[in-house]
Amino acid sequence: MSARAKNRLATIVLTTIAVVIIGLLVGLIGFILTQGWHKLTLDFITSPPDIVNAGGGIAPQLFNSLYLLVLTMIISLPLGLGAGIYMAEYAPDNKFTQFIRLSIEVLSSLPSIVVGLFGLLVFVTMTGWGYSLLSGALVLTVFNLPLMVRIIEDAIRNVPQNQKEASIALGITKWRTIVSVVLPAALPGIITGAILASGRIFGEAAALLFTAGMSSPDLNFHDLSMNSPTSPLNPLRPAETLAVHIWKVNSEGLAPDARDVANGASAILVIAVLVFNVTARWFGKWIYRKMTSGA
């Protein structure tokens, strides 16, 4: 086979793989949306669930998912960013650093159910917080931190070395170089890591069964006190997320319209992930242009 024929064959194979991947994604999203499209109403999104009568909604579960996402990112993003900077810029190449990398790889390969049991023991039982949003956010931090550290480290390492050297040659300190030169250049990779971690937060259910719980109190959205048991902003209250709600509705089958609720909740979850990804990409590009003085 000639070189031109090999090149044409490789192009066809790779293009076919790309088309198959896109087709699977479009087919999966299309199937979920068509199954739950009839439930995408304002009443379904803004009303609480009703396991006795048909017509309940997912308002508390949707809010819990978004609030848990915010809490988790507040905890995990600074930790992941700090660890990624240390591994890329400060950590020496020795056995201790190799042990850290091995620990990160082992932690990233743990099943979510095992991480959930760890969270049940440490964050739920030993701290005395019980089933709560904070326990769920901390266990998701443990779950997502290895992914964020590796992605942020790779993003920082991919910044051209001549940019760092030019900054240091001007007499700028290493830390100021990292803040002013390296992080803005690595921002697209950091945003990618945050988006991947956020997608896992939206879709995680097993770890949250043991930490955030499978029930939510009757929330009073007019009560903004973080100490009130019915306040939506209270991080120490139990909180059933949208992914957990889908599993619970399908497994218990108590609601007369359980299948419709699960299909509608799945469609809302997919739309929420898509909207978050698009918004995060746009926001990341906007920050990147501002920090790099781009047009």
Give 92-111 pLDDT, tens digit per residue.
888 888 888 888 888 888 88
Mean pLDDT for the stretch of residues 87-95: 88
Do 175 and 262 belong to one domain? yes
Do 32 and 74 belong to one domain? no
Mean pLDDT for the stretch of residues 228-251: 88
Do 50 and 34 belong to one domain? no
> Does residue 136 register a pLDDT over 50?
yes
Specify whether the CB–CB gap between 131 and 213 falls below 8 A. Answer: yes
Specify whether the CB–CB gap between 167 and 128 falls below 8 A. Answer: no
pLDDT band at 293 (very low <50, low <70, confident <90, very high): low
Specify whether the CB–CB gap between 106 and 115 falls below 8 A. Answer: no
Mean pLDDT for the stretch of residues 2-23: 92
Record the tokens describing residue 142, joined without a space. Answer: 């443990």
Query: Over the stretch 246-289, which tens digit does the pLDDT of each residue have?
Result: 888 888 767 777 788 888 888 998 888 888 888 888 887 787 77
Do 64 and 33 belong to one domain? no
- pLDDT score recorded for residue 257: 77
Mean pLDDT for the stretch of residues 2-24: 92
Residue 73: other Cβ atoms inside 10 A: 20
What's the rounded Cα separation, in Å, for the pair 120 and 72? Answer: 17
Do 33 and 49 belong to one domain? no
Record the tokens describing residue 26, joined without a space. Answer: 């479009």
Record the tokens describing residue 84, joined without a space. Answer: 């990624």
Specify whether the CB–CB gap between 245 and 216 falls below 8 A. Answer: no
> Does residue 52 register a pLDDT over 90?
no
Do 142 and 24 belong to one domain? no
- pLDDT score recorded for residue 120: 93
Query: Over the stretch 155-210, which tens digit does the pLDDT of each residue have?
Result: 899 888 888 888 888 888 889 999 888 888 888 888 888 887 887 888 888 899 99
> Does residue 26 register a pLDDT over 80?
yes
What's the rounded Cα separation, in Å, for the pair 227 and 234? Answer: 6
What's the rounded Cα separation, in Å, for the pair 136 and 114? Answer: 14
Do 98 and 220 belong to one domain? yes
- CATH number at 252 reads 1.10.3720.10
- pLDDT score recorded for residue 295: 45
Do 85 and 16 belong to one domain? no
List CB contacts of 6: < 8 A, sequence separation 6 or more.
none
pTM of the complete model: 0.85
Q: Domain containing 25: what range?
A: 1-39
What's the rounded Cα separation, in Å, for the pair 143 and 7? Answer: 41
Kindly state the DSSP code that residue 111 receives in the 8-state scheme.
-
**Domain count of the chain?**
2
Do 111 and 225 belong to one domain? yes
Across the chain, the runs of DSSP E, i.e. the strands, are: none
What's the rounded Cα separation, in Å, for the pair 140 and 158? Answer: 27
Do 85 and 6 belong to one domain? no
Which is more confident, 18 or 46? 18
- pLDDT score recorded for residue 51: 66
List CB contacts of 158: < 8 A, sequence separation 6 or more.
186, 189
What's the rounded Cα separation, in Å, for the pair 148 and 81? Answer: 8
Handedness of CA 290, 148, 76, 83 (dihedral sign): negative
Do 235 and 257 belong to one domain? yes
What's the rounded Cα separation, in Å, for the pair 132 and 111? Answer: 21
Residues in the chain: 295
pLDDT band at 211 (very low <50, low <70, confident <90, very high): very high
Specify whether the CB–CB gap between 68 and 140 falls below 8 A. Answer: yes
Q: Cα 273 from chain centroid?
A: 9
List CB contacts of 234: < 8 A, sequence separation 6 or more.
133, 225, 226, 227, 228
> Does residue 214 register a pLDDT over 90?
no
Do 33 and 71 belong to one domain? no
What's the rounded Cα separation, in Å, for the pair 181 and 159? Answer: 9
